[in-house]
Structure 1
């Protein structure tokens, strides 16, 4: 048997932490002296503590670790699924850090050249294009902020089922139109849509007309910069908003392994401002 101090030293876990782990029943001392309350751990518990430390190093929460430990009969299966999920999560974090590091290096280079840290905005391409009328098979609804990501999946799944069931012809990638500029207490007015060839129940005419178009290659984190650049361009060239801003998802986020493979088109419908007399 090992005293709590010996166990603590071997596993490099403080005695305070061990007492907390006992409180939440993550790892309980094998024996507690009823006379003095001294805690003792068995040699076999060393591996359990090392297992807990290993999962902690992978950023599993104590609650997640406890759930895994309690699945004794399916431990390997449960552990495999948990580690696979954590691997994907960490890979995404690594990718985000790499993108952030690239941005920092670019900012440092620009500053060395005497450029502004915001000079990257100049490289955002804005084109003035004419987009023809299209039929949209769509679902429009008010979506609370915390449900936006979930509704993307739900609504597009319904639209794809409709297309398959009615044997419709997709003419362009899925898109989302934002009919309100900000979240209200009831949510954001969003229309999930897919351009189709046929005009059937559930479709509508959409006339984008004159639009500012920008293509994003990579992470959606670039969206705010694109929105800003398009509005600056419109203001400078004498244009104003004429319809709902919309995003076209050229690549399916669920089908790419890296965010750098994403391709998204941003359209900002505009019209020439009337000259004031």
Structure 2
């Protein structure tokens, strides 16, 4: 089956075109893995630069078709959103390229390339009480979210703790966003802005701090903000709990079906 390859490179990085053109084989054979879960991220040195390459998990059957003809792959969206965020003054690692591999009319592999970004820690370490000046960092992060994201109509749909990189410089903490393939753009009111903090999975005291700070920036009632954010947090945790139960039940059904077929082989 013939394979079709699509890739796009930022103009100032055209020197890496040959490398990007062969990215599927490069990723499989070389590079240093720095993250691996559903997706995998590797570091590559090419020329005098260090690059991050994210390989996205093979999508489900429907999305393999949708990402080719209607929506764009996660790699392509990551690239486009990174460029848009930078134009709006929102820090994210410099996008370099994306590459897609299509076979049989459906997406098989996709890769997003950005410059490697050095940071001191992520928001996860802050929330887990592993960093000094915790409350100060969180207040600065809320202000960053309010001003840079919501003020520009940016709603990060995967605003989880690992997706904010933090660099400490003097008295200031600088925030950089990653995992950009799921974003929405448009006007963000007070309640919608609060919902952006629902995925943090942190303790009540921290949620109260975040809600209060966000309310003050919006000139709203802190008590109302706390109640709403605690409710959003419960909803998110309940959803995650149900999702885990559904996955466990589905796996049991699959295992039962496999066991039944093995016990009664076709004659």
> TM-score when scaled to structure 1?
0.21
> TM-score when scaled to structure 2?
0.22
Q: Rg bigger for which structure?
A: 1
